[in-house]
């Protein structure tokens, strides 16, 4: 009885985390930029620790607003596809890492784990890219 409950809750938990990843995949690029700005400013002693966090948040917001503004205002398909791919690439990397972590929970070999993780990266990156491409220009 408890084993069945553990299996059901484990599958439900992994399903919830995958749903959350697909939902938040569009925001992976601004979060990545914000984290990189924070760590760069702090590591190179450009700003103190309390000042790097607002700078990182501002950089992430700028990436999000700029990307959304380009997608909303541009009618050029090449520019739209390029911006969508640039914003979806960190989502694909996050999908790769999450799927590789999930495959590490089981007793899977290295090669099947990386094949599975590549498939997960394609799924998450593709979902983020289609959500970004669905933004219609005004």
Q: Tell me the CA distances in angstroms from 22 to 32, 93, 98, one per residue in order.
A: 16, 13, 11
| Whether residue 19 has pLDDT greater than 90 | no
User: For residues 114 and 68, what is the distance between their CA atoms, to the nearest angstrom?
Assistant: 32
Q: How far is the C-alpha of 12 from the C-alpha of 4, rounded, in Å?
A: 12
Over residues 73-108, the pLDDT tens digits come to 988 989 999 999 999 999 999 889 988 988 887 778
Q: Give pLDDT tens digits for 103-134.
A: 887 778 889 889 988 998 998 889 888 888 88
Domain boundaries defined on the chain: 18-133
Residues 26-38 have pLDDT tens digits of 888 899 999 999 9
What's residue 70's pLDDT?
92
| DSSP code for 26 | G
CA distance readout (Å), 36 to 6, 51, 57, 105, 125? 38, 14, 11, 29, 20
Residues contacting 26, CB < 8 A, separation 6+: 87, 88, 91, 128, 131, 132
């Amino acid at each position: 009885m408890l084993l069945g409950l553990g299996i059901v809750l484990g599958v439900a938990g992994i399903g919830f985390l995958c749903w959350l990843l697909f939902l938040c995949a569009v925001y992976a690029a601004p979060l990545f930029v914000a984290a990189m700005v924070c760590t760069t400013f702090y590591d190179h002693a450009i700003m103190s620790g309390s000042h790097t966090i607002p700078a990182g948040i501002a950089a992430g917001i700028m990436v999000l607003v700029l990307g959304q503004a380009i997608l909303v205002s541009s009618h050029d398909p090449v520019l739209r596809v390029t911006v969508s791919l640039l914003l979806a690439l960190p989502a694909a990397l996050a999908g790769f890492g999450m799927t590789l972590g999930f495959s590490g929970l089981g007793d899977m070999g290295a090669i099947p784990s990386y094949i599975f993780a590549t498939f997960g990266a394609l799924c998450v990156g593709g979902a983020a890219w289609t959500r970004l491409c669905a933004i219609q220009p005004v």
